[in-house]
A and B are shown apart, each in its own frame.
Chain A
Amino acid sequence: MTDADSAPPATPRGLEATAALLALYRAGDERARDRLLARYLPLLRRWAHGRLPAGARSLADTDDLVQISLLRALRHMGTFEPAHEGAFLVYLRRIFLNAMRDEIRRAHPERRAGEPDQGLSDGKPSALEQTIGRETMEAYEAGLALLDEGQREAVVLRLEFGMKYEEIAEATGKPSANAARMAVSRAILRLAEVMDEHRT
């Protein structure tokens, strides 16, 4: 929280708008919630397409799940103040994946408590899993968790959200598009190095 009497630190333009909207929403401004939804629903929807497991599609379509995830994210943010808009997107991503797991479990109550998490699927892979393989998806998620926050943001924003370098620079506080590009490539290489380590 910044001192009201001191000059606020420089923040990327996107985050500044998001942070302002979040603050308004926490203060009870429903219009701020609507504006946040308008801003992030299309982005999340586009990202989430093809990630919903085939077996889970009967529970809720992607659009509903995206909206649920976003509302849940806003509701449970508490004092979470993302340093960058990129961090906020990564946070939304995690909320969505968690929401997806919750929906799958709810749809399959026959699973006993304590059973190993079968991941994001009940055996029927998502369109994305069908393309690259479930094992790769699991290794990818495990590897992401081993990266530092900045590397995780770089990979997710570029490889999953498909953001341009200029947008990534703005979302992560990098000084230039080229700096963002270097960060992304380094993060990709680092991820490839650690992706297999979760098995050891």
Chain B
Amino acid sequence: MSTAPEDPRLRSIAEAIADETPVDWDDALAETPAAAGTLGRLRALDALARASRAAAGAEDGRGFDDPVARAAFHWGPLAALERLGAGSFGEVWRAWDPALRREVALKIRRDAAGAGSDRRWLEEARRLARVRHPNVLVVHGADVHDGRAGLWTDLLSGSTLEELLAARGPFGAREAALVGVELCGALAAVHATGLVHGDVKTSNVMREGEPGAADGSGRIVLMDFGSAHDTGPGAPGDGASFGTPLALAPEVLAGAPATRVADVYALGVLLFRLVTGRYPVEARTTSELTDRLARGERAALRTLRPDLPAAFVAAVERALEPSPEARYPDAASFERALSGALAPAPRRADGMPRGLALAIGGLAVIALAALAWVAFGPDRARDEAAPSSVAVPPTSSAPAPRAATVVPAAPPQVAAVLVRGGEDTREELKDGDVVGPGDRIALELEAREAVHAYVVSEDAKGETFVLFPLGVRGATNPLAPGIRHRLPGKAGPEALDWVVTSAGGQETFLVLAARRPIERVESLISTLPRAEERAVRRPLRGGVAESGTRGIGGVVATPGAPAAAAPRGLHRLMEALRSDPGAAVWMDLIVLENPAP
């Protein structure tokens, strides 16, 4: 019998057979031709194992088309169908999730890195699984099976930004800014869990849609959290070992752990690359990269793209500041700057679209930016002097004094719509829609960041009520980002609605949202009656209170009351907020008709 020591290559093949993962037999034979005999027998054992699994699958009654029966191997409940790729952290497979009854992407760690490492990785993966944001890849779960840690996510179809860049060439500033805004939201959602991404780059961001499609309408999704790790106390400080060097912040390249501002830097690099097709600092080796960063040798965005709007250039350049303290402190700040480069001109009250029901997601951002770009235009960019390549001061020096630049604070991105309905129905309401007594109304609101929201109503007599926040019951401020909130919220397990309790006149709803409590509004609503203080507490239909329903009353108009001739309080409030540039308040006004019978 053979007593030769184990050949590591043969051992790894034996492990692959045991783990039910495919083996490249041609590759193996090329690497160890002397072991052809053993390789042949290993291959036979692999075939025997597969045949046994197939036979067992047939016994279980699974058909040929059953993904479970077609699986290359099983990882826990998932059936791995096709290997999509491999990286430094492991392999990615297209897999079938019988619980979700659809295909998912399964990422399995390459080898057991130790129970401690697996445990930390699982904790971070499970934390990522709690992130629900339209621009973050959904992680469905993470676990360990057969000694291998893995996580499974949505399986996306589309093209990475790197693929789009290669296919189409550099992006326009508007499209790049929109990508940046969405990725800022994604990063903010990830950072809110205590994690940093660690490897933001064009190949880790996908635009959903048909692969190779050139249109820019697909959802932007931040993926590949293989480098994501904890930034909390006690977290291992090994962030510098991850990430793509050309996109790494200088301090991370120097060995510091990755942080939120390092993610901001990486996003700045991404945007720089999108509009130029290159990196701010290019090098062939890490040492060359380090040297160039130390000497401040970096291409200026203005030089490479003199046609870009100044506000966009300024936003990206600040994100690329070598000193972390000089960058945006967080993704939200970067997003405000990019949004500011896209923000529309202030609108007058008499020209303001009323009851504009915004869709949730990227479509609204694109539509808004299209309006803004007409006002912004290229002329302002040409007015800016285009300096030659500048030498950025080394990181050890203090940042150069910045020219005073006032960038108006942009309001938070919010989507809100009034809906009417009961337990099983839902109808969106728009400006001018008719409501009547008994109608149950709620506001669906979603924001990319945490916001303080207010809903105030005014009836035909000019009486103003606070519909949200209620104080004692229902949801409370601030509202969490990335969640479609249904206001006024819940009381225990039951949803609360506003109920139209009588007919006659108009009902005007003013919806406000800001990143911080709006002092002017807080002061106002402290003096106003709240809907729950109204006498009617249950919806009335035909004079009979319905059992099993909840209502808080509130939207009342006196029958036959004429429209108020004096300027309405809500419009005065809107004007006051709009005239305050520091307020950064998102607002919307909807008027519903409530005619007398």
Name A residues whose Cβ lies closer than 8 Å to a Cβ of B.
45-47, 49-51, 127-128, 131-133, 136-137, 139-140, 146, 158-160, 162, 164-165, 177-178, 181, 184-186, 188-189, 191-197
Contacts and interface: CB of A to CB of B under 8 A. Distances in A.
B41 A192 contact: yes
Given A140-B48, A192-B14, A47 B56 contact: yes
13 contacts: A46-B56, A49-B59, A127-B55, A139-B41, A140-B48, A146-B1, A160-B48, A162-B56, A177-B146, A181-B19, A185-B15, A189-B6, A196-B41
A192 B146 contact: no
Q: Which of A192, A195, A197 has the most CB atoms of chain B within a 10 A radius of its CB?
A: A192
Nearest to A133: B44
Given A47-B56, A158-B18, A195-B44, 16 more contacts: A46-B59, A132-B44, A132-B51, A133-B44, A136-B44, A140-B45, A146-B1, A162-B52, A162-B56, A178-B147, A181-B146, A185-B11, A193-B2, A194-B1, A195-B41, A196-B37
B56 A140 contact: no
Interface residues of B, number: 32
A184 B18 contact: yes
Interface of B: 1-2, 6, 10-11, 14-15, 17-19, 37-38, 41-42, 44-45, 47-49, 51-56, 58-60, 112, 145-147
A135 to B, nearest CB: 9
Contact of B42 (A132, A164, A192, A194): A192
Given A49-B58, A177-B147, A181-B19, A160 B41 contact: no
The majority secondary structure among interface residues of chain B is: helix
A14 B56 CA distance: 22
A128 B15 contact: no
A165 B147 contact: yes
B38 A193 contact: yes
A131 B47 contact: yes
B51 A131 contact: yes
B11 A160 contact: no
A196 B15 CA distance: 20
Counting chain A CB atoms within 10 Å of each CB, which of B1, B37, B52, B112 scores highest? B52
Contacts of B53: 162
Nearest to B13: A189
A153 to B, nearest CB: 14
Contacts of A186: 6, 11, 14
Contacts of B14: 185-186, 188-189, 192
Contact of B2 (A46, A128, A133, A194): A194
Contact of A140 (B6, B18, B37, B44): B44
Contact of B49 (A136, A159, A178, A195): A159
Interchain residue pairs A-B with the least CB separation, the first 3: A50-B55, A49-B59, A131-B51
Given A165-B146, A188-B42, A159 B52 contact: yes
Contacts of B48: 128, 132, 136-137, 140, 159-160
A45 B56 CA distance: 9
A12 B112 CA distance: 25
A128 B10 CA distance: 25
A154 to B, nearest CB: 9
A147 B18 CA distance: 17
Contacts of B19: 181
Nearest to A127: B55
Nearest to A51: B55
Contacts of B1: 146, 193-194, 197
